[in-house]
A and B are shown apart, each in its own frame.
Chain A
Amino acid sequence: NAGVMQNPRHLVRRRGQEARLRCSPMKGHSHVYWYRQLPEEGLKFMVYLQKENIIDESGMPKERFSAEFPKEGPSILRIQQVVRGDSAAYFCASSPWDSRSGNTIYFGEGSWLTVV
């Protein structure tokens, strides 16, 4: 079984460009979480999505960041007009059904964004 797939693994963008990070959840999972990890820090929750719905975006910066999880295809985290402070590792995790407990959350390998 394929795990949570993230791509690209590494992305370099110039300031002002757009970054798109993709996440394909595990088969059968319809819930996706995005986390950001700045250097030397723990993971910070950004957004929780179900298919075609944003459930909790309390961790998303108010501007330039958006996320979607369409009915077909991967979840996309989009960062517009990137700045150097956006340089970080972005992790995606997926979960089956509306599982609020238990060991049912699985992480991808992360996408490393570098803004130059």
Chain B
Amino acid sequence: AQKITQTQPGMFVQEKEAVTLDCTYDTSDPSYGLFWYKQPSSGEMIFLIYQGSYDQQNATEGRYSLNFQKARKSANLVISASQLGDSAMYLCAMREPSYNQGGKLIFGQGTELSVKP
């Protein structure tokens, strides 16, 4: 069965420093997609970054980059130059194209990031 694991329930980082949030996944399908979302205290889901399993390069979006290590089945999120506004819950998710399941997302438990001034 598909599975997403985020082993860090909470993380602290100093403002302006970089931080890596861990995510590992398990799937037997060669075609899949990996997502990271930010969920601030207001609750909405904010899409950050996407990586397809066949993408040759690691995805980047501004200060966000995804360290995709396919053989290790890991998709860690790196946030560079942390800002106070980065304090939030971060959710890793995988989309697997199961033909009877329509490509739903499977989420990890999340990592609560706190940025210290």
Binds A, one of B12-20, B74-82, B97-105: B97-105
Contact B102 A100, beta carbon cutoff 8 Å? yes
Interface centre among A45, A50, A112 (most CB of B within 10 A): A45
Which B-chain residue is minimally distant from A55 (CB atoms)? Answer: B102
Which A-chain residue is minimally distant from B37 (CB atoms)? Answer: A107
Residues 93-104 of A, flagged 1 when their CB comes within 8 A of B and 0 if not, give 101001111110
Q: Which residues does chain B contribute within 8 Å of A58, judged by CB atoms?
A: 101
Contact A43 B102, beta carbon cutoff 8 Å? no
Which B-chain residue is minimally distant from A93 (CB atoms)? Answer: B105
Q: Which residues does chain A contribute within 8 Å of B50, judged by CB atoms?
A: 102-103
Name the distance in Å between A88's Cβ and chain B's nearest Cβ: 11
Contact B101 A48, beta carbon cutoff 8 Å? yes
Query: 11 A-B pairs, CB-CB below 8 angstroms?
Result: A43-B93, A55-B101, A56-B104, A100-B102, A100-B103, A101-B52, A102-B33, A103-B47, A105-B103, A109-B43, A109-B44
